[in-house]
Structure 1
Amino acid sequence: MGELTGRTALVTGASRGIGQAIATRLAAHGALVIVHFGTDAAGAKATVEAIERAGGSARAVRAELGGDDDVDTLFAGVEEALAGRSLDILVNNAAAPPAGPLGATTRAQFDHLFAVNVRAPYFIIQRALPMLRDGGRIVTISSVATRMANPAQTSFAMTKGAVETMSLTLANELGARGITVNAVAPGATRTATNGPVFDPPGLAELIAGTTALERLGGPDDVADVVAFLASDAARWITGQVIDASGGLFLGPRPAVTGS
């Protein structure tokens, strides 16, 4: 079926959007995919059913990240789904969205962001390592917010900066086992869930105009990058942040493009 046939993958936040696209793509390459979800049971079911209709294999596992027992709950389901098999690929995709600018972010919102976006992936990796095979893959979804100064996303960008640093240091630690650890940083990505965000007149065109490839991204644009990093072809790439934004805000754009 594909180059990941016989391998297993856990994708967090896989009931919709980028996570759903990642889960679907890994399954299309042959992996058994564990589709994690927090509250969107219908979305997780739809993801699993889409994978199975295409001839792939998937299992849904529920755990609301950010709480005290989140990792225990998640891995009780993961271990049942794996049924004694090792884990080959871990994709930390689940994340809480930006909470707002400095003046509007509450302590509770700040703590929730760090619980979901930083603490959860850290301890998910910690818990996964004993079952992750040598030569496995860890990919964490970051954001271009780490290289852009967006006052509306300060706390969110801080969480993504943390997981980029985590990926760098873990790549150095886990290299002896042949495990690669990387981060992928999407930019403006339109999904079925966040589509209305881009509905205000002119907004999508404005963002596309500041992007080198002159369009908004889609979930498949990010999923393809993750699938590559999960493959044998990416065996020599580790400790990297891969920008998957189409070149968002690289610098001043020329007034006229093309030949």
Structure 2
Amino acid sequence: MRYEERAIGFDCGGDALFGILSLPAAPSVSRRGVLVVVGGPQVRTGSHRQFTLLARALAAAGTPVLRFDYRGMGDSEGAMRGFDSVDEDVRAAIDRFQQEVPGLEEIVLWGLCDGAAAGALYAPRDARVRGLVLLNPWVRTDEGAARATLKHYYRGRLLDAGLWKKIASGRFDLLGAARSFVGVARSALRPPQEAAQCGAALPERLHASLSRFPGKVLVLLSGADLTAQEFSVVAEAPHWRTLLATPRFARRTLPKADHTCSRREWHEQMTAWTAEWLAAW
């Protein structure tokens, strides 16, 4: 199926926002649409046209997609804001999406990194949102990043034959590496009350929000990405394991992919997983 695109503008708090609507070319009544919630600082095209290609592929498969710029980003007016302060932007985009696509009843928010976090925080506040696709969701804390680094980076380095060759030849800064390791280890082992002062509430905010959200959730993770690895560490906690094990959650991992799925085969796999998931319910 082919697709067509058109630019649209809409108001949010007195500022003009702009986006691109991708529609199936064949006339159809679409009850479900995908709104791409970009990460920041980012614009509606995405890194290496990631969101553009995603929107076109989904539209060609029959699902309308809207991608837009937050206030203060890209072509949109207003002051730049953080990912946890874009509820008004997302709501205004959904309102306009429904105006442009008659009969649209269900919205799926698709986000990368802090765009995924923004979508997860927004979802339970709007009954029109029935689904979430979270690619490498942002749950960053100093403690969590350190634990992910210990588990994934240092473990891999110890198994790297090249590292031991450098050590044996005297070309490795052993003292500097030891200092770095100690610093990471201290962050990973920081007491909970001290970690909370460093922003450790974000994983719990996301957990609470996803627990309240009654819709379906697809979690997509890149195996070679620290942000995804940190989410995996967070997800090992008992309350996260319980939540993710419920039938409304699905999880897919692409082992060698980077944060933005920069290779064609990685992008196409993530897009295919999204399309299959959308068609399954």
TM-score, normalising length from structure 1? 0.46
- Name which one, 1 or 2, has greater alpha-carbon Rg: 2
